Structure 1
């Protein structure tokens, strides 16, 4: 058992890091306080209490139910991972290191419940959705802070960090509006970065097909009680076909101050990238180009008094330049599209423990603003575009004030969590929006649990939905918000040999927004009458190596079936009706030699819907999406602090499309080295 020793009020506090699988390990905790980290993406989804008559720490729950759980971090109110009455997929650090992926977008492909529709390679731009939702219906968080873009979900994964700086990724499947507010419509993805203590430096370089290069340099150090992490990274490629080249640079800094009454956390990140956008938005003009800059920062305090207060402030700016013609523009083309979004937010989250359970409450304010020459209402006076010879002529903004209340009890084998989120959104005629929900679980045996939940949600249209105007697209300022109610239930299994879940879910959607083709052959967003999802997800991890020895592999199988039903079908859909109907993921990790391991991922996808096929910039008709199977593999050799690896993505050189006419890369070979310097 590994512990981190801290001093507080002359009492030794042990922070649970990893269970050592030893019979005597629990004796190390005798006469000591034990602090256990808990899941950050959950927030208030479940807050178990042992009984109504006594107050016990989450450490006791952990010891009683599963001491072999993953290490997770805390937000708002603590909850042990195994007690959450929802489906949460967690990709841990070791899995990230072993996987044949070098971007968050590629890594998310290996989760059955997640649909990643990539336009550019290596995460240049990708639309990520959960359980048949759209990319605008999934909330993205960085270390628990909302970084979702109000202009368009295409920019949600403009991340200032590379995979080398990520500790884990948590995917909450299903709506979470009563936790996060609007836009956590079909799920939420929380990206948690590393915050090492002590002194260390990590460097890595890799290269491969299509002129690919990726470099990372990060370091951690400590000054008194303040721990720091600094990272810079960059990647580039010449492109796998014409006009798919890209360049990307990231910078990220975070620190953490552990004080007597709590912990202060700060983060600051910047990412800048430019990329050829071949047919990204319309195949009529394949010579498109896009450049983005994103700045993000936040400060958060986590108090440890009996009444736990956790205030947070954050800011995000995203600047986007889109060129319909990268060069040789048509005579009628006079100006690029320029957008600048500013998001300010502040929240205060609190929770306390008492004899009737745990109660959490809080408030949040979020302001979303846009300046543009395309999106919004006409401005009285234009404003200069930073760094460009152009001006913003339009703008818009909206503010959201939210409050939440949640309570949880744990009685014998039952966990019950219920609560609601209420908010008011400026500029809308919605009045007060209320999102109630409840999660229930029942333990039927050691490591076996039944669960069920009911949750409601809402999503506001993006500024692109409302205002965009282009040669093949036009916005709709009369759009109404999307609404849904979701019920799900199933079984969760947490045994030493087999871990997994089986779940059935049903989502009833109203006023779902999608871009549809009108009579003038122009795409315009509309509120569809109703779109309902009925699906199932099955996932099983077989931990043969953990149980029987290093000569055996660990195997994971997961499958998603999602059947989408719509009341109106006399239209051509661009996003909503093109959901994945079947997705099967198979993963094998085998240790070949003591320091040599092989990771293989097979992903099968079968997508509903059609797209308009273009040849030589001319539409030739509607065609179905073809199912496809891809294979990625990575061979890694590690010795001491040194790792060398080789990987192949799309091993069988399959030709496929995630979205429309955007062809995905064929076989892509990469190789690289990683070295860690640890200083005493």
Structure 2
């Protein structure tokens, strides 16, 4: 096969085999084939790149729009603590690929997640400035957010969870795991997990990009990759500002990110650090009674981890990890008014963590053992226990001082075993968790995942997992004229059952799944009297979420060779809730305002030459007196080997809608921009 070459993506890795589909060989004709097997796991341990084919001509596009994809079923893309291949995995993970990111009319990670069928994105400001992300009818505090497998979720609040130090240009893919996942990611993965995997370019290069458009929006971005032998380093940064499109929704965003990788036969090392900073008008974000709120957040992250292979292969691997992140939050209930009496607060949240995972492959399968020790420390003007005055700490840039403090330590122990027999996979494990904010006892959260593959086209799977979530510091201590926390809140608990099937053949892929999540002591912010007044944090009792989803993708360039149409994707999700409580609830702010219906459709097609278009339609209906709405987005893109130009329109029909409370979303938002990539 002319032009074929084998590329070792990591040391001591080996080629397995092509998919056994009858058409696989023909997919390679006339193409350069890059073949690799990456032995790392999806989500917590996810860095698998998969395999794709691209034209071998000098005019090849920088993405794979319109190009068929050849997959290796032996690529390791799993959601367990012991790496399993995509063929063996007992779970199906939804993946937003690099091609999806390039096609989409998206300004942020949050915009991309809106197209994931099981994900609910409630946007307050443009460009994802303040966004709540939840999965399968849960709340924004019930998911774990990871960056290259490192947990960056904040125990202060999930409101700022999507404040990432990376841009869309840095991201290789986004992986979404639905359902309780405590035995894989710890107790914070109450209702699912989202992992963002950054790109690792094959060559040294410099990338520059800029864009501008409606509402005084403009920004720029850069990325620098340097590769020498076994060492790869990447530095990126960017800035965006805008008037916001609505009253008091202006913002300024800054970010910087650095990542390094070193590979050898006996160890692969990865380290990363990032800073994100944003200042924004918060309109009626947290209370409709105050329409001139303001907030500034700063986030610093740092981590280092390694895959140590004492035998020089993947039969025994130790993965140690150290991480730290700091979240600084400055909030004003009324913009410009200072002092605690006016609703101004400062918070500084530090999370320190150390973990070790080990997995071994032996006669009876794959076994993984691990632990994670996580220290959570907050200094605040409102959250935590009141300190004696001699222990107050100065707040940089102000005459106020931190006078409250909170500390808690979370210890997690993991065990898992995986059995693979032919087309059958059984993955079972348990989390033992101890949190000093509770009674100090260990609690146990088991889980079982099963899959069966009768042939290469079909896969059936089922799972049951338990989880627990400790209240955030916001849940416990908030006290202002609009909201009241409760330090007596009990932790949330749930059991999630999930079943589904995947069908895949030439040009067609479909996934259908159903779930039942049985929750107790669920935490929500609610009105406790008919007179309403303040929202109160409360354990609202039992809350069961039931639903199903269906996704189908047609790779039209495979089904209709030569057609201008390249891909059509459609998805639908339905959720039904059953709430049982002994305490009256007169209005919900989060948990009971779930999406009953969500429908998405995406169409990608070429227009001529290098010009292509991507259309996205989203219709959804939210409970609790929200009006259903339809949103249409489009992106026109000219793609060349070294540069890209685009024009994109968000909310093409200029429909004004509400995702949360009284926060009205902007109308038509048009942006134009481009990027250039220079080899070094």
Local SS of the residue matching 1:564: strand
Choose which of 205, 221, 229 in structure 1 pairs with 2:234. Answer: 229
TM-score (norm. length: structure 1):
0.89
CA RMSD of aligned residues (A): 2.6
Choose which of 316, 322, 325 in structure 2 pairs with 1:313. Answer: 322
Is this contact kept in 2: 1:37–1:73, CA < 8 A? no
Q: Does 1:656 align with 2:657?
A: yes
- CA displacement 1:391-436 (0-9 Å, x = unmatched): 1010111101111110011112211111111111113126211110
Bigger CA drift: 535-544 or 442-451? Answer: 442-451
Is this contact kept in 1: 2:334–2:342, CA < 8 A? no
Normalized per residue, the structure richer in strand is 1
What's the CA shift for 1:553?
A: 3.1
Counterpart in the other structure of 1:608 = 623
Choose which of 319, 327, 331 in structure 2 pairs with 1:322. Answer: 331
Choose which of 78, 90, 93 in structure 1 pairs with 2:98. Answer: 93
Choose which of 356, 363, 379 in structure 1 pairs with 2:364. Answer: 356
Aligned length: 638
Is this contact kept in 2: 1:287–1:324, CA < 8 A? yes
Counterpart in the other structure of 1:613 = none
Local SS of the residue matching 1:172: strand
Counterpart in the other structure of 1:490 = 500
Closer/same/farther in 2, CA of residues 252 and 42 from structure 1, 3 Å limit: closer
Q: Does 1:5 align with 2:8?
A: yes
What's the CA shift for 1:39?
A: 4.1
Choose which of 562, 576, 581 in structure 2 pairs with 1:563. Answer: 576
Counterpart in the other structure of 2:115 = 110
Q: Does 1:79 align with 2:84?
A: yes
Matches within 5 A, 1:48-63: none
What's the CA shift for 1:4?
A: 2.4
Q: For 1:531 and 1:430, locate their aligned partners in 2 and report how far apart those are by CA, in whole Å.
A: 26
Counterpart in the other structure of 1:456 = 466
Closer/same/farther in 2, CA of residues 24 and 184 from structure 1, 3 Å limit: closer
Counterpart in the other structure of 2:611 = 596
- CA displacement 1:75-127 (0-9 Å, x = unmatched): 85322234333341101111101100020011111111000001111010100
Q: For 1:310 and 1:75, locate their aligned partners in 2 and report how far apart those are by CA, in whole Å.
A: 14
Q: Does 1:673 align with 2:674?
A: yes
Q: For 1:641 and 1:466, locate their aligned partners in 2 and report how far apart those are by CA, in whole Å.
A: 51
Is this contact kept in 1: 2:527–2:588, CA < 8 A? yes
Q: For 1:35 and 1:664, locate their aligned partners in 2 and report how far apart those are by CA, in whole Å.
A: 44
Matches within 5 A, 1:68-217: 76-217=81-222
What's the CA shift for 1:640?
A: 2.4
Matches within 5 A, 1:527-546: 527-546=539-558
Counterpart in the other structure of 1:523 = 535
Is this contact kept in 1: 2:212–2:672, CA < 8 A? yes
Local SS of the residue matching 1:122: helix
Q: Does 1:399 align with 2:418?
A: no
What's the CA shift for 1:384?
A: 0.7
Q: For 2:554 and 2:300, locate their aligned partners in 1 and report how far apart those are by CA, in whole Å.
A: 41
- CA displacement 1:307-362 (0-9 Å, x = unmatched): 210000000000000011113x4999446200000000010000000110000011
What's the CA shift for 1:37?
A: 4.4
Which structure 2 segments of 5+ residues have no match?
47-69
Q: For 2:153 and 2:665, locate their aligned partners in 1 and report how far apart those are by CA, in whole Å.
A: 25
Local SS of the residue matching 1:81: coil
Q: For 2:543 and 2:623, locate their aligned partners in 1 and report how far apart those are by CA, in whole Å.
A: 14
Which structure 1 segments of 5+ residues have no match?
45-64, 610-623
Q: For 1:74 and 1:536, locate their aligned partners in 2 and report how far apart those are by CA, in whole Å.
A: 21
Bigger CA drift: 629-638 or 541-550? Answer: 541-550
Closer/same/farther in 2, CA of residues 24 and 415 from structure 1, 3 Å limit: same
Q: For 1:213 and 1:24, locate their aligned partners in 2 and report how far apart those are by CA, in whole Å.
A: 42
Q: For 1:36 and 1:16, locate their aligned partners in 2 and report how far apart those are by CA, in whole Å.
A: 13
Q: Does 1:253 align with 2:258?
A: yes
Closer/same/farther in 2, CA of residues 226 and 370 from structure 1, 3 Å limit: same
Bigger CA drift: 80-89 or 591-600? Answer: 80-89
- CA displacement 1:508-538 (0-9 Å, x = unmatched): 0000000111236211111111000110011
- CA displacement 1:465-517 (0-9 Å, x = unmatched): 00111111111000000000011112111222211211111010000000111
Is this contact kept in 2: 1:206–1:673, CA < 8 A? yes
Is this contact kept in 1: 2:334–2:343, CA < 8 A? no
Closer/same/farther in 2, CA of residues 388 and 18 from structure 1, 3 Å limit: farther
What's the CA shift for 1:369?
A: 0.8
Is this contact kept in 2: 1:377–1:395, CA < 8 A? yes
TM-score (norm. length: structure 2):
0.89
Q: For 2:13 and 2:423, locate their aligned partners in 1 and report how far apart those are by CA, in whole Å.
A: 31
Local SS of the residue matching 2:587: coil
Q: For 2:273 and 2:373, locate their aligned partners in 1 and report how far apart those are by CA, in whole Å.
A: 20
Q: For 1:38 and 1:582, locate their aligned partners in 2 and report how far apart those are by CA, in whole Å.
A: 35
Is this contact kept in 1: 2:225–2:234, CA < 8 A? yes
Local SS of the residue matching 1:5: coil
Bigger CA drift: 140-149 or 638-647? Answer: 638-647
Is this contact kept in 2: 1:140–1:156, CA < 8 A? yes
